[in-house]
Structure 1
């Protein structure tokens, strides 16, 4: 997604009270997977994958 689109997604999430962690490294994917496996009730998802559910 373009930078402008990403900013729109981030603003939409903020308005909904959803905490967003910005990642831009391929290694971050592995870190988030590891955290999900170790932490209860934690799920990381792409911001743009949730947009349709919020609209």
Structure 2
């Protein structure tokens, strides 16, 4: 829920703050996708986050 709230608020405020030519809906999706990619990369590269019982 916190990631969704962060993505929504950031996606709405970034285009307004920096005068970006991106609609807020698309910005929300880009922020949420970036959060997903960061989490997926962390899980792939940090063994403690994989859940393996090795």
Tell me the TM-score normalized by structure 1.
Answer: 0.30
Higher helix content, 1 or 2: 2
Structure with higher Rg: it is: 2
